[in-house]
Amino acid sequence: MTHPYIPNAEPGVRAEMLAAVGAESVEEFYADIPADLRLARPLNLPEPFVSEPDLVRHMEGLLAKNQRALSFLGHGAYAHYVPAVCDEVNTRSEFLTAYAGEPYEDHGRFQALFEYVSMMGELLEMDVVNVPTYDGFQAAGTAIRMACRYTGRNRVLVHSAISADLMSKLRDFLSHDIDIVTGAAGTEVEVDDSFAAIFVETPDVFGRVETRGRELADLAHAHGALLVVSTDPISLGVLAPPAAYGADIVCGDIQSLGMHPSYGGGHAGYIATHDHQPLVAEFPSRLFGIAPTKVPGEYGFGDVYYDRTSFAHREEGKEWVGTASALWGITAGVYLALMGPQGMKELGETVLARTRYAMDALGAHVTVLHGGDVHFREFAIEVPSARELLDGLRERDIFGGVALDDRTVLVCVTECHSIDDIDRLAAAVKEVLA
């Protein structure tokens, strides 16, 4: 049987094509592969499900083993609401299956990504935003490297409390040639002229919003260093964009802007700067810009400053560039266009209000950490046993949060949690702890 995915596996056409090229069999095409490297047996893989209904059944059987519950999980991936139009656009064959066409036959992709970076630019109040890199972790690593290359220094102060996972990524990506200095929260910030940057994450791992941005910027700048801020753009309808308090490079993850969590598959990273040539020169990612065409008034698109990239100059380019997360950039653009300024503002207000509501509701039963700080979306609680609490909630069909350590649980609240959901969590927490 000719496989539905392989038209030329049909014996008749196969013979015809072999004849056309003058080959006896496909073996001729493999003549360069030495006999001792040839696999002498069939691959030992499971029996396939060639018929689509059989495949669907197999997959549905596997997928049915996944479970859902009322979830307060966050800590790096967030279940914000994804408008249906986002999914409609990013499942269009034209976008889903395209790759790297020229700005003619793929004008739509260029324009959609240009619009994405432009909307991010408005949200961030910055003029240069990259075509997305893999995720917020990579964006943070690269943003720090950009600061190091720009300043010619190799030391960075990680000022905020960040997640162990992000720290793991930064160590892997940076530590062979960059010193990572960590500042304990609440302590005095100390930098000197050897530092390339102060790195701030806001909200931090505990959901706390950094309020000393301007101070940190001034401090960094006083020492010739940059302020690099990682922030989730979902908060920027209500929170000040880091550029407003002096950040030089802003980065983060856009998963919140219209991507489903997809068990970790929804991430994409952004990096933004002002339109300052020496800093722009340090971007490894592609940058798309408007260019004129033969017809006056027509908008063409193309790569800005392509010579920066490893596509152009291999190891002489900045880091590397390749397939990353373009479709999530397009999707985030759709999201921002749907939300508009008013939607982003209201979303921020709703998340702020519900986070505070949840802190108060849980605060009646457990200790809420950092209760005096401004929290966006996340906060931590201290309990006798994180494991026991989460197991107890699980029995009540609730994923109650993420254990940061044996006694600390991080709780996440978005606009998708109703007040009833939060009350249900609080009641369940009370019950489990009773």
Partner 1 sequence: WDEPIIFELSQPGRRGVAVPEPGAPAVELPESVRRERAPKLPEMSQPHVLRHYLRLSQENLGFDLNIDVGQGTCTMKYSPKVNDGFAKAIADLHPRQPEDSVQGVLEIYARMESMLAEISGMSRVSLQPGSGSAAIYANIAMIRAYHAANGEGHRDQVITTIFSHPSNAACAKTAGYEVITLMPNADGQPDIEALRAAVGPRTAALMITNPEDTGIFNPRIKEFVDLVHSVGGLACYDQANANGILGITRARDAGFDLCHFNLHKTFSTPHMCGGPAAGASGVSEALAPFLPGPVVEAHDGRFILKYPEKSVGKIRPFLGVTQNIVRAYAWIMALGGDGLRTVAETAALNNNYLMHKILQIPGASAPWGRRRIEQARYSWQQLSEETGVHSEEIGVRAADFGVHYWTSHHPYLVPEPFTLEPTESYSKEDLDEYAAILAHVAEEARRDPEFVKGAPYNQTVHKIDMTSLDDPDQWAPTWRAYVRKHLSGKG
Contact 300, 292 (CB under 8 A): yes
Contact 82, 260 (CB under 8 A): yes
- CA 347 to CA 431: how far, in whole Å? 31
Contact 135, 268 (CB under 8 A): yes
- CA 270 to CA 250: how far, in whole Å? 8
- CA 393 to CA 389: how far, in whole Å? 6
Residues from 78 through 97 that contact partner 1 (CB under 8 A): 79, 83-85, 87-97
CA atoms within 13 Å, Cβ hemisphere of 399: 14
> Binding residue for partner 1 (CB under 8 A) from 185, 192, 222, 353?
353
Contact 96, 104 (CB under 8 A): no
Closest contact distance (angstroms) between CB of 83 and a second copy is 6
Q: How many residues bind partner 1 (CB under 8 A)?
A: 219
Closest contact distance (angstroms) between CB of 76 and a second copy is 21
Select 210 or 415, whichever has its Cβ closest to a second copy.
415
- Give the interface segment with partner 1, choosing from 32-40, 154-162, 189-197, 222-230 (CB under 8 A): 32-40
Select 22 or 53, whichever has its Cβ closest to a second copy.
53
Select 94 or 215, whichever has its Cβ closest to a second copy.
94
Beta bridge partners of 133: 269
Residues from 8 through 67 that contact a second copy (CB under 8 A): 52-53, 56-57
- For position 378 contacting partner 1 by CB under 8 A, the verdict is no
Residues from 130 through 169 that contact partner 1 (CB under 8 A): 131-132, 134-138, 145, 165-166, 168-169
- For position 104 contacting partner 1 by CB under 8 A, the verdict is yes
Residues from 319 through 358 that contact a second copy (CB under 8 A): 338
- For position 9 contacting partner 1 by CB under 8 A, the verdict is yes
- For position 408 contacting partner 1 by CB under 8 A, the verdict is no
- For position 54 contacting partner 1 by CB under 8 A, the verdict is yes
- For position 185 contacting partner 1 by CB under 8 A, the verdict is no
Residues from 91 through 120 that contact a second copy (CB under 8 A): 93
Contact 334, 86 (CB under 8 A): yes
CA atoms within 13 Å, Cβ hemisphere of 60: 6
- CA 222 to CA 219: how far, in whole Å? 5
- Residues 22-41 as b/e (b if ≥16 CB within 10 A, e otherwise) read eeeeeeeeeeeeeeeeeeee
Q: State the binding string over 70-89 for a second copy (x if CB under 8 A, else -).
A: -----------x-xx---x-
Q: Which residues bind a second copy (CB under 8 A)?
A: 4, 52-53, 56-57, 81, 83-84, 88, 93, 338, 415-416, 418
